[in-house]
Structure 1
Amino acid sequence: MVALVKAEFRKIFTTSLWWGMLAPVVLLGFGAGSLGGPMAALIDSVQELDRPVPLGLLALSMSTNFSTIFAGLFGAMAFAGEHRNRTISTTYLTGNPRGAVLAAKLLAYSGIGLIYGVTNVLFASLGSLVGAGMDFGTFGSLADWLSVGAAGVLTMVLWTVLGVGFGALVANAVLAVILPLIYKFMVEFILSLVLIGSPISGVSPYLPGTAGNGIVANMAVPLFVSAVAGPDEPNTPRAIFEILHFFFGGSYGHPWWASLLTFVGYAAVFIAGGWLAGRRRDIA
């Protein structure tokens, strides 16, 4: 297994895909973070607060939830890319049984997902500092920043391993890229709008994209409101939470750990599906 994992890392680092997908994560992280300064100025113009506004927490949520798609697409190419390049036969023949190949890819790509997650947190934090004029109050308390940052890193890893499972299932590079993009930015967006106010609106937090976003957002938004509202937090109107969730992801009243468990379930389903499909798929 160790040799298989090392082989996967060699495959990853001998191509440009890993850093090509990392570049937009860096840009999105820094860009989302730097928006905190103008937003803080806007808040101050409406109401002057006697406490720091931890917009860095929301920036971490925004950057993570926009960047995870790149981690997912990168993971999807673990198998789909090998099928496209016709190297999957050699991989399976040298890494028999096929389940061991899947396990090795999951371990190796989880490591790259970890790099993506840490990079996102660092650049979103750097952007927040720059946008806030080097004011560390933009992060809230150290515990809050560490909690939201850790959730962001975990989310990135989970999207990567879900991508590996999805790529193993479809085994087609075009579908592995197109289908996640269409689903996340079109299908689920339309579904979320349709579900608003419907009798089954409670289904929305359990959709894959919303669950993935909620791991970070359902932690960051309540922490942000708590830090800003202070002792008056229980009196904060629901509309405030819903507006923040609309822009930064997640769902009102839905705990982050429920989103985590839901998304882990989706990842497990795709990994199991990829394993079953890989066992039965003929190779040239």
Structure 2
Amino acid sequence: MGSLIRAEFRKIFTTNLWWGLLIPTVLLGVFWSWGFSALGTSLVEGLRSSEAFEGIDADSWMTSVFGFARGANLSTLFPMIFGALAVTGENYRRTITTTFLTAPSRGAALGAKLVVYALMGLGFGVVVALSTSLGTVLGAGSTPLPGATGWFLLILSTILETVLWTLLGVGLGALVGNVFAAVIGLLFYALLVENVGVIALSNVVGTAFPTVLPNSSASGMPGAVAADLFLNGVGPIHPMFEKEARLLVEAAAGAQGAFPWWANTLIFTGYTALFVVLGWVGSRRRDIN
């Protein structure tokens, strides 16, 4: 297994793909979180100067955390693509035959890829967390920032989300086998299909549809942390408006209807494990030439 892992690292670092995806990850993380944090700051400052909201203490409104959650969730698109290319890229370049023939089994080859891409996902996760943290600080302005515990939970949930997205991409790529189908399918689902579906389901049931779908559960990892941090800073809310306020805050964090962040992590881990198993089965049955 050690030689297979070393071979996978050589495949990654002898190409430009990893840093080609790392650059937009950093840029998107910084500027997207910066923009959302700055937007939240502008809204809070507008409330402070508005006579209609006179008497409302908005000094403790931690709107900056929404920028973090939004920036982190969008930035994980690139690690997801990186994982999807683990197997499909080799299929496209026709090197998968050599990989499978030189490994003790196809399962061992896929296992080595999972180990390596989990570590790469960890590296990407650290980069995503740091870049979104920088953007959040730059855009926060006069609004408060999280404390040490808050930062830790935001960073931890972001790193875990990134690792899981990377591994889910590996599993889906192994299942589908085609580079274009895997990458375009993942992007189309994450950016459009599920978002439209969640809105439609929420309208049907009359409330926010719970985050039991893959993209929603992933977004709910840092999103739920951000929502909790904001609500804790605001303080007690009248019971009559508590439910609506919670849904509004979760929507701002990109995680409407979210479970606690640890529950979202377990749900998304289940989806990741499912696609890894399906990818393993698909790669075993696929002919190579």
TM-score (norm 1): 0.91
Letter in 1 for 2:93: N
CA separation in 2, counterparts of 1:230 and 1:74? 41
**2:77 is the counterpart of 1:72:** no
Q: Provide Cα deviations, 1:125-144, integer angstroms capped at 9, x if missing partner.
A: 112222235x7x74311101
Taking only the aligned residue pairs, the percentage that are identical comes to 38
Say whether the 8 Å CA contact 1:83–1:171 is kept in structure 2.
Answer: yes
1:116 alignment partner in structure 2: 124
Aligned counterparts, 1:214-253, within 5 A: 214-227=220-233, 229-232=234-237, 237-252=242-257
Q: Provide Cα deviations, 1:50-109, integer angstroms capped at 9, x if missing partner.
A: 744433422221111111221111101000000000000001111221111111111111
CA separation in 2, counterparts of 1:248 and 1:61? 6
Q: Secondary structure at the match of 1:143?
A: helix
CA separation in 2, counterparts of 1:158 and 1:253? 18
Mean Cα deviation higher: 259-268 or 84-93: 259-268
Letter in 2 for 1:251: Q
Q: CA RMSD in A?
A: 2.2
Say whether the 8 Å CA contact 2:208–2:256 is kept in structure 1.
Answer: no
CA separation in 2, counterparts of 1:56 and 1:113? 25
**2:26 is the counterpart of 1:20:** no
CA distance 1:262–1:233, shift in 2 (3 Å) = farther
Letter in 1 for 2:45: D
CA separation in 2, counterparts of 1:194 and 1:41? 31
Mean Cα deviation higher: 58-67 or 172-181: 58-67
User: Paired residue for 2:136, among 93, 115, 128?
Assistant: 128
CA separation in 1, counterparts of 2:42 and 2:175? 48
User: Paired residue for 1:157, among 152, 163, 172?
Assistant: 163
Mean Cα deviation higher: 66-75 or 81-90: 66-75
Say whether the 8 Å CA contact 1:60–1:152 is kept in structure 2.
Answer: no
* Structure 1 residue 28 displacement after superposition: 1.6
Unaligned runs of 5+ in 1: none
Aligned counterparts, 1:136-175, within 5 A: 138-175=144-181
* Structure 1 residue 230 displacement after superposition: 2.5
* Structure 1 residue 41 displacement after superposition: 3.3
Say whether the 8 Å CA contact 1:110–1:157 is kept in structure 2.
Answer: yes
* Structure 1 residue 253 displacement after superposition: 5.5
TM-score (norm 2): 0.89
Unaligned runs of 5+ in 2: 49-55
CA distance 1:105–1:249, shift in 2 (3 Å) = same
Mean Cα deviation higher: 28-37 or 259-268: 28-37
Instruction: Name the count of aligned residue pairs.
Output: 281
2:202 alignment partner in structure 1: 196
2:264 alignment partner in structure 1: 259
